[in-house]
A and B are shown apart, each in its own frame.
Chain A
């Protein structure tokens, strides 16, 4: 029984991308197909949360695609359509979240980490450089000089 359910689920999941977005809209009117497609692919489906409205086959995604199409038919701009959805579902529907206090972390976080990484890298490299300069004691330095001197003498002999 469980195997059968699993099989059906797997098959169903395989089919999903193929059947998503089956509605047939008329793009001969004032709705630009490219604009419509661009818009639904940057809006997130709330049911299957890692899919855009363009990819999702959830009931709600069908309804929301229709909603987007109809708004565009009424001559609404992309911003107006997005505002309509955000007012109902929140910023969550946006794959491209706006810059505001609650999203500072996502926008600035990566740059902060990059800066932190660079800072640590530079600090580390500098420290290593300094360690190289000062890592010989006086005796060691004398031995080095002596050895280098010998090598130098031999070099001159040949």
Chain B
């Protein structure tokens, strides 16, 4: 081994470690990749939030690109996300369906009345069973579902304009262009 290699080796190891750890700093361990990406939306049939007699099921996702947003009134980040959803709904770019997760009906209805209702419809998941089938662990969560009803993307944590413009909407456009 030439001498300079011997001296440079520790530096190289240090740089490699630094690069590795620096990358680690930018990874959020709370964003666990979902095994559901690329799989059909888990089946469910739940009463609607606003109309308890009516039901919302996974069949709704077939034939259109849509968003499925998991939210609750007890979820602080959902409150932060709400204006973004309102703007998205007003733009009409993509229909948003909601899963009202482990919530109380009167409180959820009051929330929609007070802050506005960006959802085409909401499924009311009182005991969180459907949430578990969808692998929900940190509200808010947003799924992008293609025309075949297959989950193509999942955002954990509140949607922001940045995520919307750079991640969600371009994907929605691409999925719309797909045959189906």
**Cα A86 to Cα B135 with chains together (Å):** 9
Summed over the interface, the residue pairs from A and B with CB atoms below 8 Å come to a total of 37
| Chain B contacts for A46, CB-based, 8 A | 32, 137-138
A145 within 8 A of B: no
Question: A95 on the interface (CB 8 Å rule)?
Answer: no
- Which among A47, A49, A64, A86 is the interface contact of B35 at CB below 8 angstroms? A86
A23 at the interface (CB under 8 A from B): no
Number of interface residues of A (CB under 8 A): 15
Q: A residues within 8 A CB of B137?
A: 46-47, 60, 89
**B128 CB–A CB distance under 8 Å:** yes
Bound together, the chains give a CA A62 to CA B128 distance in angstroms of 11
In this complex, the interface size class of chain B, counting residues with CB under 8 Å from chain A, is 10 to 19
Interchain CB contact under 8 A, A88 and B132: yes
Q: Which residues of B contact A92 (CB under 8 A)?
A: 32-33
- Closest partner residue, chain A, to B133 (CB atom): A88
Nearest chain B CB to A86's CB is how many angstroms away?
Answer: 7
Q: Flag whether A80 is at the interface (Cβ < 8 A).
A: no
Residues of A within 8 A of B (CB): 46-47, 49, 59-60, 63-64, 67, 86-92
